[in-house]
Structure 1
Amino acid sequence: MDRRVFLVLLLAGCADTSTNAPLSPSTAAPTPLGPAPMPPAPKPVTAGGDINFDAWLAAFKQRALAAGLSQALLDRELNGVTPDPKVVSLDGRQPEFSKPVGDYIKGVISDDRVAVGQGKRETLTFLPGVESRYGVPRDILLAVWAMESAFGKLQGSFDVVRSMASLAADGRRRTWAEGELIAALKIIDSGEATRAQLRGSWAGAMGQTQFLPSNYLTTAVDNDGDGHRDIWGSDSDSLASAANLLKKGGWKPGVGWAKEVILPAGFDYSLAEGPREIPSWWEALGVRRADGLLWTAADAASPAGLILPAGAAGPAFLALPNHFAIRTYNNSTSYALGIGLLADRFAGGGPLVASWPVETPLSLADRMAAQIALSRLGFDPGPADGVIGAGTRKALRAWQQDRRLPADGYLSSDMVARLKAQAGIG
């Protein structure tokens, strides 16, 4: 997980599970981890048939030759490759139901996972050195490791070369997939890893910290000093590589990632996902840290933006710069919250002060209906694709303000019902 250039993918299928889709960092072009959402490419051929796949493959080989790969390498690794229909299906699948962010976070922070992470933070002797070298706290790295591969146990079993070929031939994100396929072939050609090692998620994320092939080439490091950048078998290399990716993604040493806050009565919720101001600016509006503690000097001097992952009814956070650095790994609010909150628990922190609301998962049909309703009512959310991203939330806030509702931009089942009723959608 690649919009920013330093994208690594999270367990490839690990898309944003919250209905509150990611906001893009203002400090860099957005780039989620995982297959980067690229503009849809023309689809002259598909991976649905051998003839079309072979036609794409022949054309790709010419492009790969021009990129410096040898004919012998291409023939050895690609001759006989067939499209994987499961990969193509997973790439085009829109979840029928979206998991509420509170349920997602509860799934991330289990007692067992916290216990394992706390044990590893005390026993992995290389962690202090990695922390010192890259400036990324060990607890954040352990949280990434836990989320990406269950501490290295679940790395994926898809053939990355075949997956990338399947996605490229399918055509929806051809440019991106061909780039990752070329990167995978370069890894094999370099001798750093064999084709058999290049196993990962359906979307091409590899190893214990789920790097895309391009991220491996540019960002993986040999931290254990054995001469190999081994993100599959070396805990040390894996976590140091993740630290390097976060550092390249803008991680600021000594600065926090976010703090839970309490909002005053009558607060203007439309400020969510809006201005990035230092904490004292927010305090002047009545915003207070939920734990009652003072800000560190570094945090007090850092711009922070308000996020309401579950709307006005759920916990509120002031997101500091490192929240957005986490999202270079996976550009999802839910993912970044999961990483940060899990890291806090590894460090001995307690649960949130506010509770997550009990919610009903929204169906794809309801999400699309809400977008259609907003459009009919004159509030443009973008395409009615069921993806509740920044455009939909902005349109929803405008509609909520127009209706004198708390303008938190959060699409709950109640908001869906109100929108459908006003727009006359049955």
Structure 2
Amino acid sequence: MITRRLLLAAAPLAGCAASGSPSASSPAAPAAAAPPLQAPVYAGVSSVSFDRFVEGVKAEASRRGISAATLNTAFAGVRANQRVIELDRRQAEGGLPWEEYRDRIMVSPTRVQNGRRMYAENADLLRRIEARFQVSPRIIVAIWGVETNFGGNTGGFRVIEALATLAWEGRRAAYFRNELLAALKILDDGHIRPDRMLGSWAGAMGQPQFMPSNFERLAVDFDGDGRRDIWDNRADALASIANYFQRNGWRPGEPWGREVLPPPGFSPARADAERRPMRDFARMGFRAAGGGPLPDGPEAQIVLPSRGSGQVFLGHHNLRVIRRYNSPVNYGLAVGLLSDRIA
């Protein structure tokens, strides 16, 4: 999504025990026994201690108007989280082939079935959100499904601790320090209690997985209770997704794209991404995935999955909007396919 999605990569949302490695200082053991394991310890890149770093953040936040009560509560018990540092240093773009990523993870039968159920259960709410934001409910539900399994997995890390750790750790200090200060303002404004401000190891929060700076700009109080609660309030969470798409240029009534059959002799290596009218692709010999003629529609461009085995798509403007939520091409295509199957 957004800038923050470059940070999430393929790491899990919820924390788990760090994998261990043999301890160099362990005493000798019989040959048949496995050597003792010790969790790796990572030091921050920062030249100051974590506690001193936190004091500096508190001072800056205080100058920005964050109350002492909020700061004391937010940082109570906060420590440099070794698991967060480990995940940050380990992260890499997933290497799954497109077909496995599509069928086993993003557009699995279970996710499609749950998406249809959630679409039906929230039909009235989704209609009201669509009326206000002019964003397709299918896309809202698809994003909700792939980001947090329809709110079922919003992350188990304390956002303040995760962001403080990453800001202190130093590799992207300025970015995470800004996100930390934004998170403190969210707490100070009373949108969520500190114990409920949970998220991913990189600080992405709630059912839409917004970074704090995006919360400030895009989260919505849809039910009018005075709080923008994207953690526990489904109306606020889904409306915030819709607001994100509206603000990023979603075109109501337009498709995101479609799978197509390329003409004979088509070479993926030579495919260009120029945007053309659909009739131009039809003239070049592209056909609908079922073999019929291409329907008319907004201008499109050829889109090829990363690490794919030949599937070809024509993507419209709304696919580019989906990819502003999370930039990888396979993510955008999978969200589009899931949205089609949900409805």
Normalised by the length of structure 1, the TM-score is 0.67
Q: Aligned partners of 1:152, 1:194: CA distance in 2, in Å?
A: 18
Aligned residue pair count: 311
Equivalence for 2:108: 110
Secondary structure of the corresponding residue to residue 340 of structure 1: helix
Q: Aligned partners of 2:308, 2:76: CA distance in 1, in Å?
A: 55
Given the superposition, is the C-alpha separation of residues 310 and 221 from structure 1 closer, same or farther in structure 2, using an over 3 Å criterion?
Answer: closer
1:151-300 aligned within 5 A: 151-272=150-271, 274-291=273-290, 292=292, 294-296=294-296, 300=297
Q: Aligned partners of 2:313, 2:59: CA distance in 1, in Å?
A: 50
CA displacement 1:80-103 (0-9 Å, x = unmatched): 521101111111114497111110
* Identity across the alignment (%): 39
Q: Which amino acid aligns with 1:193?
A: I
1:120 pairs with 2:123? no
Q: Residues 301 and 314 of structure 2 are in contact (CA less than 8 Å); yes or no, is this contact kept in structure 1?
A: yes
CA displacement 1:275-300 (0-9 Å, x = unmatched): 1222223233222222325435xxx2
Q: Aligned partners of 1:269, 1:99: CA distance in 2, in Å?
A: 19
Deviation at 1:119, TM superposition (A): 2.1
Equivalence for 2:328: 332
Secondary structure of the corresponding residue to residue 116 of structure 2: helix
Equivalence for 1:74: 71
Q: Aligned partners of 1:97, 1:212: CA distance in 2, in Å?
A: 21
Q: Aligned partners of 1:263, 1:90: CA distance in 2, in Å?
A: 40
Equivalence for 1:322: 318
1:57 pairs with 2:54? yes
CA displacement 1:181-223 (0-9 Å, x = unmatched): 0111001101111111110111111111211112222111122
Q: Residues 13 and 202 of structure 1 are in contact (CA less than 8 Å); yes or no, is this contact kept in structure 2?
A: no
Q: Aligned partners of 2:308, 2:232: CA distance in 1, in Å?
A: 44
Q: Which amino acid aligns with 2:300?
A: A
Deviation at 1:10, TM superposition (A): 9.4
Q: Which amino acid aligns with 1:102?
A: E
Q: Residues 200 and 207 of structure 1 are in contact (CA less than 8 Å); yes or no, is this contact kept in structure 2?
A: yes
Q: Which amino acid aligns with 1:252?
A: R
Which of 321, 324, 341 in structure 1 is aligned with 2:337?
A: 341
Deviation at 1:2, TM superposition (A): 4.0
Q: Residues 13 and 203 of structure 1 are in contact (CA less than 8 Å); yes or no, is this contact kept in structure 2?
A: no
Given the superposition, is the C-alpha separation of residues 11 and 238 from structure 1 closer, same or farther in structure 2, using an over 3 Å criterion?
Answer: farther
Normalised by the length of structure 2, the TM-score is 0.82
Kindly report the root-mean-square deviation, in angstroms, between the aligned alpha carbons of the 2 structures: 2.7
1:36-51 aligned within 5 A: 47=44
**Runs of at least 5 residues in structure 2 that lack an aligned partner in the other structure:** 12-41
